[in-house]
Chain A
Amino acid sequence: EVQLVESGGGLVQPGGSLRLSCTASGFTFSSSWMTWVRQAPGKGLEWVALINQDGGGEFYLDSVQGRFFISRDNAKNSLFLQMNSVRAEDTAVYFCTGANEPGTTNYWGQGTLVTVSS
């Protein structure tokens, strides 16, 4: 059974930092594209960042470029999102997602809530 389990969410002040983690099981993590997708309260879905299988390629949403950093540890089947200089508009549920094929995602975690507020 495929499982993606996120952790690390919580309340953070504007300008602060947070590190999200995602642990994967039930599929070949090292062969999978991995991404972070977020959903603001009551809103739609938005891609945040994507990383390729060996971690050598990363893509970011313009609004998080230079503030957020995606990384992975294939030996530990883990995905990370380092969030720096957070803003109120970063408040959302962050989902870890993955796929073993290009241009889509078919594995989703349960999400972790990040709230940016003073």
Chain B
Amino acid sequence: DIVLTQSPLSLPVTLGQPASISCRSSQGLVHSDGNTYLSWFQQRPGRSPRRLIYQISNRDSGVPDRFSGSGSGTDFTLKISRVEAEDVAIYYCMQGTGWPWTFGQGTKVEIK
């Protein structure tokens, strides 16, 4: 199975400051079709997950542009340019290149 390792697991951030979450894969995530199926999800307390980013860097409709994704190969990053109170959540990376699809352990973003 492809293992995704996120860091840090806990991220205290000051409002208005940037935040960055790393996701490293145990294998390259380029699919045989040439695409890289790496997504990012946000799960607010008590809520279902919501996709923010797909195929490394494509932002979903309605997602604020302060969220961005980048990376290639086995190293990927989710960045929040200026953290707002509503961004308090657990963030998961996820790969859909190989079955079983897998998630990272999650990174808890909280306000300092």
Contact = CB atoms under 8 A, between A and B. Distances in A.
Interface of A: 35, 37, 44-47, 50, 59, 61-62, 95, 101-106, 108-111
DSSP majority for the B interface?
loop
A61 B96 contact: no
Interface in B86-103: 92, 94, 96-97, 99-103
Nearest to A44: B106
Contact of B37 (A45, A104, A111): A104
Given A45-B103, A46-B103, A47-B101, A108 B49 contact: yes
Contacts of B41: 45
B77 interface: no
Contacts, number: 59
Contacts of B37: 102-104
Given A44-B106, A103-B97, A95 B54 contact: no
B97 A45 contact: no
A103 B51 contact: no
Nearest to A59: B99
Contacts of B35: 102-103
A102 B101 CA distance: 11
A99 B57 CA distance: 17
